[in-house]
Chain A
Amino acid sequence: MTVLYHPATVFALSLLCGWAVYLFGRALAPASRVIGGKLKTYACGENVEADSFPTAYHLYHAAFIFTLLDVMALVLGTVTGTAIVWMVAAYLLVGLVAIIILFKD
């Protein structure tokens, strides 16, 4: 029974459910006809090009590092007393590598 509650089983089941919903939708939907502006961004009928909306990426790094730190703090804050120390250390190391990669340029 505990196998059912294992995160890996839950993840696999969720993935299967997602695929099932997707395949059911595909079976119901009529064949896609890509005509004219079908795949274009919807902008109330306007013909927009990608460069019409320059995205400000300069704040992306800052937002990402805060996300990383928040997630790491949440994980470390909810670590149980029986956690293996070297696993926690490995997790911190992976986080550190992610931050280094983020700012290597």
Chain B
Amino acid sequence: MLDGLVKWARAKSPWVCHLNCGSCNGCDIEIVAALMPRFDLERFGVLLEGSPRHADVLLATGPVTRQIKDRVIRIYEQMADPKFVIAIGTCGVSGAPFYPGYNILGGVDTAIPVDMYVPGCPARPDAISYGVLKLLATLDPQAEKLVQEIEARGDTRGLVYTPEQMAEQREDTEAARG
């Protein structure tokens, strides 16, 4: 019963913290747009927090630079367990187009484990909302139902990738390059 209560509370109040790893600010503005009343991410209980100490989900934008890598890891370590990371924007996903610049290590997953990828330059606010919802679907059956409803309503391919889908995508890209 206690486990059920914890799971319910966790799924209904995923507090997020925004971290710019080296983004141009494009995706950061879209995160704000996703949280505002038009897309209203807050209807799922999402609350933007200033400190990772209070957050469950880290919304990371931009490529990981050599300078920020240690800071990203430290911030991730300082989050309370259980924690999730969503890489937002094409730079957060792979570092592109800045990778392989002299100061760029790649996407967010070069520093910390990522649970959901939301590509786009910048990532669309509805895609960010969908990414968060897909993450919540792993915790909450109601959110899962909503994701299925959204997927039945329209084509959502390419909006959000799970780590497994991203690994497949990368393999395909490598194979195409030969």
Binding site for B on A (CB under 8 A): 27-33, 35-38, 40, 42, 44-47
User: Which one of B5, B9, B72 contacts A45 once the chains associate, using CB atoms below 8 Å?
Assistant: B72
Q: Which chain B residues border A35 with CB–CB below 8 Å? A: 77
CB distance from A83 to the nearest CB of B (A): 46
CB distance from B22 to the nearest CB of A (A): 12
Per DSSP, chain B at the interface is helix
User: Which one of A30, A38, A45, A46 contacts B82 once the chains associate, using CB atoms below 8 Å?
Assistant: A30
Q: Is B172 an interface residue (CB 8 A)?
A: no
Q: Which chain B residues border A42 with CB–CB below 8 Å? A: 51-53, 78
Per DSSP, chain A at the interface is loop
CB distance from A15 to the nearest CB of B (A): 24
CB distance from B120 to the nearest CB of A (A): 25
CB distance from A37 to the nearest CB of B (A): 4
B75 adjacent to A45 (CB under 8 Å): yes
Q: Which chain B residues border A32 with CB–CB below 8 Å? A: 81
Q: How far is the CA of A35 from the CA of B73 in the complex (A)?
A: 11
A45-B6 contact given A30-B81, A36-B77, A40-B78, CB 8 Å threshold: no
